[in-house]
């Protein structure tokens, strides 16, 4: 069940981040990958800032995951445009 929740959280976070960053396209698999990697990145950044990482399937974790996914998409867009 834990893996299923990561997939759902990742899909939501990736979809919301792509809406925020205006980088549509990709399918649901891309949203899941972006969201899960973004959740890991957001958890590391939040923990480094003393805010705590992903704590489960709740609103705080979704916000951390969306923030991490936005950071990931922003870095990807910078690299793709040649910094």
Residues 12-61: pLDDT tens digits? 999 999 999 887 667 888 888 998 999 899 989 999 988 877 777 888 98
pTM: 0.86
Torsion over CA of 32, 38, 40 and 35, rounded to 10 degrees? -20
Residue 69 confidence (pLDDT): 93
Spatial CA neighbour of 61 closest among 53, 72, 50? 53
In the structure, what pLDDT confidence band is assigned to residue 7 with cuts at 50, 70 and 90? confident
Output the DSSP codes for 7-71.
HHHHHHHHHHHHHHHT---S-HHHHHHHHHHHHHHHHHHHHHTTS----SSSHHHHHHHHHHHHH
> What's the average model confidence in pLDDT over 54-82?
88
């Amino acid at each position: 069940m834990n893996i299923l929740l990561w997939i759902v959280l990742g899909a939501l976070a990736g979809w919301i981040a792509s809406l925020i960053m205006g980088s549509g396209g990709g399918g649901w698999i891309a949203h899941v990958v972006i969201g899960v990697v973004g959740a890991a990145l957001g958890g590391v950044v939040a923990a480094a800032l003393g805010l705590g990482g992903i704590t489960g399937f709740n609103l705080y974790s979704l916000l951390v995951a969306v923030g991490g996914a936005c950071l990931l998409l922003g870095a990807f867009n910078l690299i793709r445009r040649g910094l």
